[in-house]
Amino acid sequence: MKKMKYNLDMLFADIFAHGATYYYNGEEFEKNPRTGYVVGMNNFVGTFNLDKCGKELVGELMLAVKHCNNIIDTIQANECLGLWIDEKTNILYIEKTIIYSDRKKAVAVADFFDEIAIWDCSECEEISIK
């Protein structure tokens, strides 16, 4: 089984979409699942400042792609690669995530991992928990 490789084109598309989730079912990746609640696992978290300019921004983006591929290399079935942008700070977060079907469980896990928010896949919206 060959896992996908993340690239700069994918990163730009995901930044312009204000984030993305890539769910791995053990055989292939599905982009932006339509149901469930995405929760960061508070490991493999990378933060990248999109306010940088010129070469510094290019460097941030290249590190972001590398970080995505590091997560993909370690991802297991039923885990996800998640990307989202904090609109207040213009920081891109990249982390390993998991999807829960139950909102209460997702919030409890997010609280345990000290996450800022979860993502509601069916409503395509962030749910703040802090």
pTM assigned to the model = 0.85
- pLDDT for 74-87, tens place per residue? 898 889 999 988 88
Determine which helix (DSSP H) or strand (DSSP E) holds 100, and give its type and residue range: strand 91-100
Residue 100 included in any domain: yes
Evaluate whether residue 35 is within a structural domain. yes
List the one residue out of 50, 36, 34 whose CA is nearest residue 93: 50
Which residues span the domain enclosing 82? 8-121
For the chain, the domain total comes to 1
Contact by Cβ (8 Å): 114, 42: yes
Residue 76 tokens, joined? 């297991």
3 within a domain of the structure (yes/no): no
Distance in angstroms (rounded) separating the CA atoms of residues 84 and 86? 7
Ranges of residues in the chain whose predicted pLDDT is under 50: none
Identify whether 129 is part of a domain. no
